[in-house]
């Protein structure tokens, strides 16, 4: 392995781990479910892909790196979808687990007996 690949892989790994560390701290410190979902979404779209890319760079071009890149593609496609669906479910349940959250879509919902547009 050349020094350039080692350096690029190390920088990618350090950046990915930094994103994961910030996401872990944010997950513990942020107040409600929507902020926590935002942080985990950033972790899924920035932290984990950078780590997978670093491992793919370190292993060189072979079957293992191809599988890592396929896993990376799968993660990049499914992560925003899962984050959106989880936030939609959290918004629809909207119980008292998240008191600082303000529901600004309340006026957009149809009232009892009204038809949906």
Q: pLDDT digit string (tens) for 9-63? A: 999 999 999 999 999 999 999 888 888 999 999 898 899 999 999 999 999 889 9
Whether 52 contacts 75, CB under 8 Å: yes
pTM (2 decimals)?
0.73
CA 113 distance to own-chain centroid: 38
> Looking at residue 101, what is its pLDDT?
63
Question: Which residue ranges make up each domain of the chain?
Answer: 3-90
Report how far residue 90's alpha carbon sits from residue 104's, in angstroms, rounded to the nearest whole number. Answer: 14
Looking up tokens 């009232």, which residue turns up?
A: 111
Report how far residue 50's alpha carbon sits from residue 95's, in angstroms, rounded to the nearest whole number. Answer: 35
* pLDDT above 60 for 98: no
Burial class of residue 77 in the structure, from the number of CB atoms within 10 Å of its CB (0-12 exposed, 13-18 middle, 19+ buried): exposed
What is the average per-residue pLDDT within 90-113? 68
Assign 117 a pLDDT band (cuts: 50, 70, 90): low
């Amino acid at each position: 392995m050349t020094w350039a690949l080692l350096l690029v892989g190390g920088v990618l790994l350090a950046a990915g781990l930094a994103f994961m560390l910030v996401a872990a701290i944010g997950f513990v410190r942020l107040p409600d479910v929507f902020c926590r979902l935002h942080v985990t979404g950033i972790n899924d779209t920035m932290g984990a892909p950078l780590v997978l890319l670093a491992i793919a760079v370190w292993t060189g071009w072979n079957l293992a790196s191809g599988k890592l890149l396929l896993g990376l593609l799968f993660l990049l496609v499914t992560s925003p979808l899962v984050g959106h669906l989880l936030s939609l479910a959290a918004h629809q349940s909207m119980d008292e687990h998240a008191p600082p959250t303000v529901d600004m879509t309340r006026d957009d919902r149809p009232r009892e007996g009204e038809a949906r547009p």
